[in-house]
């Protein structure tokens, strides 16, 4: 925000011809009026902001199949595609998807939040949908800090100083990084599966065999065969991940196909493969992100108000809530959503996710 230019100056000019009694009368009257106004203003300021509420009267999960507004904007290294819903002057909320998912994970969440008066921004991450690199010469870097920098650049391009962030999978990790490194840009956060900030050093440490098994695709991507296989079978591969990560979600083929189009992005395979190889320290990132990665390697505590969430049937690798609760020093709570909810929590339980956004935003 820019500072105000100059100050309002008020002058009361009274004629010497006005007698003392009239001056006393008007002065006393002015004091009474000012006092009354001060009392009214103080009372108004003392009232808490009215809590936003979702309009769920006609809400049925799965009935929304498109966004009303899809836009493009240059931001940092990218031309970012994003959906927008709600009033332009509403309190901003940024919803961040994961892999292998896209903005349609929030196709039911966005209109719910818009109904409560939020300005909702749902961007395609680098390598997804209509998001494109501005230069062919830019390294196709999938490291997590680079994705977080993209989102800060998006906020700058949209003129958003501060927003509530909410996401899952890659999106939750991105929100975590933004909240940890730039807390002044993050009003509050909803993070599915909790605290997901990691480092290459942490990625080098072996896990128990059962835990390693859950990361089978990461080891597959570490090979050239894995890169070629994902490139050739990205549709079938991604659908398998959906089925494994959300074993009780009976999604329609049309629901998956709508999202799968985002994986046809020309940079998708390069970004995904680099992301998972970088986590295992099999490839380098870019030097310009080294300082950020050094800070993230210290597992910084997140200070902004946070609600973490988990589905009761999440088939993807995820830590137990008790393991990460200490990583949030601000107002914090955790919600486990029942009913067979898997990894793609915003799309499987959109009302619960939207309610968490409203609740955490109200905590600031």
* CATH code of 127's domain: 3.40.50.1820
pLDDT of residue 42: 35
pLDDT, tens digit, for every residue of 44-89? 344 445 678 998 888 999 889 999 989 999 999 999 999 999 999 9
Contact 358/47 with Cβ under 8 angstroms? no
CA atoms of 117 and 248, how far apart (whole Å): 33
Q: Is residue 50 part of a domain?
A: no
356 secondary structure, DSSP code: H
Burial class (CB in 10 A: 0-12, 13-18, 19+), 305: buried
302 secondary structure, DSSP code: B
Q: Is residue 49 part of a domain?
A: no
- Is beta strand 306-311 parallel, antiparallel or unpaired with respect to 163-167? unpaired
CA atoms of 304 and 332, how far apart (whole Å): 9
Contact 155/163 with Cβ under 8 angstroms? yes
Domains held by the chain: number: 1
Q: Is residue 185 part of a domain?
A: yes
pLDDT of residue 49: 55
Q: Can you read off the two tokens belonging to residue 172?
A: 């939750």
Q: Is residue 13 part of a domain?
A: no
Q: Give the number of other CB atoms < 10 A from CB of residue 315.
A: 18
Strand extents, DSSP E, the chain: 70-75, 78-85, 91-96, 118-123, 132-133, 163-167, 186-192, 306-311, 332-337
pLDDT in tens, the chain (364 residues): 433 333 333 333 333 333 433 334 344 444 333 333 434 333 334 444 567 899 888 899 988 999 998 999 999 999 999 999 999 999 999 999 999 999 999 999 999 999 999 999 999 999 999 999 999 999 999 999 999 999 999 999 999 999 999 999 999 999 999 999 999 999 999 999 999 999 999 999 999 999 999 999 999 999 999 999 999 999 999 999 999 999 999 999 999 999 999 999 999 999 999 999 999 999 999 999 999 999 999 999 999 999 999 999 999 999 999 999 999 999 999 999 999 999 999 999 999 999 999 999 998 8
CA atoms of 323 and 326, how far apart (whole Å): 8
Strand extents, DSSP E, 130-198: 132-133, 163-167, 186-192
Q: Is residue 218 part of a domain?
A: yes
Q: Give the number of other CB atoms < 10 A from CB of residue 222.
A: 17
First to last CA, the chain: 20
pLDDT of residue 93: 98
Q: List Cβ neighbours of 229 (8 Å cut-off, separation of 6 or more).
A: 220, 237
pLDDT of residue 50: 67
Q: List Cβ neighbours of 254 (8 Å cut-off, separation of 6 or more).
A: 65
Residue 344 parent element (H or E): none
Q: Can you read off the two tokens belonging to residue 200?
A: 């290459």
Q: Which residues of 143-159 are buried (b: 16+ CB within 10 A; e: fewer)?
A: bbbbbbbbbbbbbeebe
Q: List Cβ neighbours of 305 (8 Å cut-off, separation of 6 or more).
A: 187, 188, 189, 330, 331, 332, 360, 363, 364
Contact 330/305 with Cβ under 8 angstroms? yes
Which domain covers residue 337, as residue numbers?
Answer: 70-362
CA atoms of 95 and 80, how far apart (whole Å): 14
Q: Which residues pair with 33 in a beta bridge?
A: none
């Amino acid at each position: 925000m820019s500072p105000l230019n100059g100050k309002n100056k008020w002058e009361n000019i009274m004629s010497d011809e006005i007698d003392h009694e009239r001056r006393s009368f008007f002065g006393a009257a002015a004091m009474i009026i000012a006092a009354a106004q001060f009392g009214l203003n103080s009372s108004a300021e003392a009232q808490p902001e009215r809590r936003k509420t979702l309009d769920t009267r006609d809400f049925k999960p799965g009935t929304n199949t498109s966004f009303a507004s899809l836009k493009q904007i240059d931001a940092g290294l990218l031309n970012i595609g994003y959906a927008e819903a709600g009033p332009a002057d509403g309190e901003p909320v940024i919803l961040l998807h994961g892999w292998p998912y896209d903005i349609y994970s929030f196709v039911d969440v966005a209109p719910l939040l818009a109904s409560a008066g939020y300005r909702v921004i749902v961007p395609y991450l680098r390598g997804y949908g209509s998001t494109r690199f501005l230069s062919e010469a830019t390294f196709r870097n999938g490291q997590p800090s680079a994705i977080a920098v993209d989102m800060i650049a998006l906020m700058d391009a949209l003129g958003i100083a501060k927003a509530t962030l909410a996401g899952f999978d890659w999106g939750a990790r991105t929100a975590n990084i933004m909240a940890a490194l730039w807390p002044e840009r993050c009003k509050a956060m909803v993070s599915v599966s909790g605290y997901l900030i990691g480092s290459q050093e942490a990625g080098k440490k072996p896990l128990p065999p059962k835990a390693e098994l859950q990361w089978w695709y990461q080891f597959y991507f570490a090979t050239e065969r894995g890169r070629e296989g994902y490139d050739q079978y990205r549709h079938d591969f991604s659908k398998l991940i959906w089925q494994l990560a959300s074993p009780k979600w009976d999604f329609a083929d049309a629901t998956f196909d709508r999202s799968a189009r985002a994986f046809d992005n020309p940079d998708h395979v390069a970004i995904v493969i680099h992301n998972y190889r970088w986590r295992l320290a099999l490839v380098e990132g870019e030097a310009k992100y080294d300082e950020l990665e050094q800070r993230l390697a210290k597992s910084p505590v997140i200070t902004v108000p946070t609600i973490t969430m988990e589905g009761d049937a999440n088939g993807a690798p995820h830590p137990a809530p008790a393991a990460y609760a200490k990583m949030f020093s601000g107002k914090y709570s955790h919600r486990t959503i029942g009913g067979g909810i898997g990894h793609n929590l915003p799309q499987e339980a959109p009302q619960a996710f939207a309610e968490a956004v409203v609740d955490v935003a109200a905590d600031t």
